[in-house]
Chain A
């Protein structure tokens, strides 16, 4: 009886989600910082070429930016350049002073939303002043600040398991001013953690901005 009740509730939830009105996610994009567009690369597990403006990322109506000025922590407590406040301060310009630079190798930043929320999208700008690719990008969600329990991985392009979180099959991508919008798949979580392992220009890890979109859970 209990199983049947649970199944009915789950089915109802799915139907409710499907019935939600979906609207385009509106991102406030910074200005491009390097002239010229990299020529498209049509290969299988790399980012497909985008010609013109990409299609909008659809999110449920009522989705709001949850992360603005929320506290950010990191595996590197003493960033090389900048402050961890850069991660959520709303400044995506990419110029000096708008990003935090973490040390070499695998590093993460974590945003605390203050309360669990149903998350729709995570937008991340690592560094967009030149064409570069960040290695082993993994994005995880959890209600556990230590990410030891109930962790959901929503993005993983770490094809060599450099981060030690398991191999992923998502696309590697070239950083641009458009950032990268990641589907959070409606997961309910309070904490968002983003990993990387250096980039194609240097061994350091940068975050210009992380934006977490969703709806608060009452």
Chain B
């Protein structure tokens, strides 16, 4: 582990840069439907103090609870007061933590290769994009890396405290997302596949450590799923959630099915609508690292190759695929890429080539990450902007406020087969309702209907209305009716 400031300072600088990048302009991108849905849930917890785990449509509780301290610090106490910056700061902080944790995890590769691994994580397009996206994935990666680090500390130093810390991280993983056991299992299998482990201290006691680890994991997970004791049924629901979640993911009819090479292409090259997104340099470097690992590289590299290979295999073999799952591949690939650099830097010339390669790959990643997370943040050609809301959704709030000012008391009606993220944007406004099909009474201060339902809705409106088209997301158009004055 780095001990002196000369070791810590570069890593700290990379982490600070990562945090600034992740925290910049967090409110600019329209809320994705999934973000909005979870932000409303977090806002309800913030406002009422109540949370009940819902195994049908939501992941674990950690994301929502993690919003609370950020909201309190920013002086937000209600759903209406909660904003995009607050909720997105949660994954942003987790994303910066990932950079530090990976830098520490990569330490056995050497001082500069470990820094390169951190820099790859900091500038990775999917890691940056989903560090600014209010979903569970970046938190899951952060807890996973923390668990790996604590487990390694326990292995190197012994002591039940490190085992308990690893268990607590495992508990946080379990309380973040149902897919956590997959990554824990891959890590353990990778240990077996990576070959002989370094020697353990003589005083290390495996039985006690295993108990401490398991106890901490269960305690932490139970605390969150039971809403800190206020909703014990959440524990039962959590235990029963894995089977239906797995069945759904494996069913092949979720609408998110993609070919097996989907994730490989994300780390290679793809072009859509005139825009190219690529990580080919990073992917090639990781592949080189995997080659070195297979030919008997250092233990960490062998483990990273096995772990990455297993995770890639599981994700690729599962029909259900979404781009945010790719974040789980970034740490392993970054370790492999850093390992390739370490292998290259055996003499002065090699070190110069490795340094140049590292800078070039980080620069290319940073360029791509900036395009993905800022320039084309909600563009449908951006592979990370998955079924993303259109910028038009930002117009609904001012339009509703204007409509309610003209017709105090409303109502505002949203009548559409799909309407997220509108409940987020219309939060705090009185008398707003949502329907999946036209109700008997459709009149209101503002009536929003999907293009498919607009004809039926119009037939139930009385008097003249003005209409306008606004987009919910690419290809999904909404019609907005407001009474004509």
Chain A interface (Cβ < 8 Å from any Cβ of B): 34, 38-46, 81-82, 96-97, 101, 130-133, 135, 159, 172, 174, 198-204
Bound CA span A112–B7, Å: 63
A200 contacts B470, C-beta separation under 8 Å: yes
B455 contacts A131, C-beta separation under 8 Å: no
Chain B interface (Cβ < 8 Å from any Cβ of A): 273-275, 378-380, 390-392, 451-452, 454-455, 458-459, 464-471, 473-475, 477, 479, 481
A46 contacts B467, C-beta separation under 8 Å: yes
Shortest C-beta distance, B429 to chain A (Å), equals 20
10 A-B pairs whose Cβ atoms sit less than 8 Å apart in the complex = A42-B458, A45-B467, A46-B479, A81-B275, A82-B274, A132-B471, A159-B466, A172-B468, A202-B378, A204-B379
Q: Which of B380, B477, B479 contacts A43 (CB 8 A)?
A: B479
Chain B residue with Cβ nearest A79 = B274
B390 contacts A130, C-beta separation under 8 Å: no
B392 contacts A200, C-beta separation under 8 Å: yes
**Max chain A CB contacts within 10 Å: which of B465, B469, B471?**
B469
> In the complex, which residues of chain B have a beta carbon less than 8 angstroms from the beta carbon of A130?
474-475
Shortest C-beta distance, B462 to chain A (Å), equals 14
> In the complex, which residues of chain B have a beta carbon less than 8 angstroms from the beta carbon of A133?
469, 471, 477
A97 contacts B451, C-beta separation under 8 Å: no
**Max chain A CB contacts within 10 Å: which of B466, B467, B473, B481?**
B467
A44 contacts B464, C-beta separation under 8 Å: yes
Number of residue pairs A-B, CB distance < 8 angstroms: 83
**Max chain B CB contacts within 10 Å: which of A41, A132, A204?**
A41
Bound CA span A203–B391, Å: 6
B466 contacts A45, C-beta separation under 8 Å: yes
B479 contacts A202, C-beta separation under 8 Å: no
> In the complex, which residues of chain A have a beta carbon less than 8 angstroms from the beta carbon of B380?
201-202
Shortest C-beta distance, B399 to chain A (Å), equals 10
Question: With A81-B273, A97-B274 in contact, do A44 and B378 touch (Cβ < 8 Å)?
Answer: no
Bound CA span A202–B378, Å: 8
Chain B residue with Cβ nearest A46 = B467
A202 contacts B455, C-beta separation under 8 Å: no
Shortest C-beta distance, B60 to chain A (Å), equals 33
Q: Which of A39, A45, A81, A131 contacts B475 (CB 8 A)?
A: A131
> In the complex, which residues of chain B have a beta carbon less than 8 angstroms from the beta carbon of A132?
471, 474-475, 477
B466 contacts A39, C-beta separation under 8 Å: no
Bound CA span A131–B454, Å: 15
> In the complex, which residues of chain A have a beta carbon less than 8 angstroms from the beta carbon of B469?
46, 133, 135, 172, 174, 200
Bound CA span A198–B474, Å: 12
A43 contacts B274, C-beta separation under 8 Å: no
Question: With A45-B467, A96-B273, A198-B391 in contact, do A40 and B479 touch (Cβ < 8 Å)?
Answer: no
Q: Which of B274, B378, B473 contacts A81 (CB 8 A)?
A: B274
* Pairs of residues from A and B, 6 with the lowest C-beta to C-beta distance, nearest first: A200-B471, A81-B274, A201-B474, A133-B469, A130-B475, A41-B454
Q: Which of B273, B451, B465, B474 contacts A39 (CB 8 A)?
A: B451
- Beyond known contacts A43-B467, A135-B469: 5 more, CB 8 A cutoff: A130-B474, A159-B468, A200-B471, A201-B390, A201-B475
Shortest C-beta distance, B390 to chain A (Å), equals 5
> In the complex, which residues of chain A have a beta carbon less than 8 angstroms from the beta carbon of B454?
41, 43, 46
> In the complex, which residues of chain B have a beta carbon less than 8 angstroms from the beta carbon of A199?
471
> In the complex, which residues of chain A have a beta carbon less than 8 angstroms from the beta carbon of B473?
201
Shortest C-beta distance, A94 to chain B (Å), equals 11
Bound CA span A209–B468, Å: 25
Chain B residue with Cβ nearest A129 = B273
Bound CA span A208–B400, Å: 34
Q: Which of B468, B470, B477, B479 contacts A131 (CB 8 A)?
A: B477
Bound CA span A174–B478, Å: 11
Chain B residue with Cβ nearest A172 = B469
Bound CA span A131–B477, Å: 8
Bound CA span A97–B274, Å: 7
A43 contacts B273, C-beta separation under 8 Å: no
Chain A residue with Cβ nearest B477 = A200
A44 contacts B471, C-beta separation under 8 Å: no
> In the complex, which residues of chain A have a beta carbon less than 8 angstroms from the beta carbon of B378?
202
> In the complex, which residues of chain B have a beta carbon less than 8 angstroms from the beta carbon of A39?
451-452, 455
Bound CA span A46–B481, Å: 11
> In the complex, which residues of chain B have a beta carbon less than 8 angstroms from the beta carbon of A82?
274
Shortest C-beta distance, A77 to chain B (Å), equals 18
Bound CA span A96–B276, Å: 12
> In the complex, which residues of chain A have a beta carbon less than 8 angstroms from the beta carbon of B273?
81, 96
B391 contacts A38, C-beta separation under 8 Å: no
Chain A residue with Cβ nearest B273 = A96
> In the complex, which residues of chain A have a beta carbon less than 8 angstroms from the beta carbon of B274?
81-82, 96-97, 101
Bound CA span A40–B467, Å: 15
Bound CA span A44–B465, Å: 8
> In the complex, which residues of chain B have a beta carbon less than 8 angstroms from the beta carbon of A131?
451, 475, 477
Bound CA span A44–B459, Å: 11
Shortest C-beta distance, A84 to chain B (Å), equals 14
> In the complex, which residues of chain A have a beta carbon less than 8 angstroms from the beta carbon of B479?
41, 43, 46
B451 contacts A41, C-beta separation under 8 Å: yes
Bound CA span A198–B395, Å: 13
Bound CA span A97–B466, Å: 37
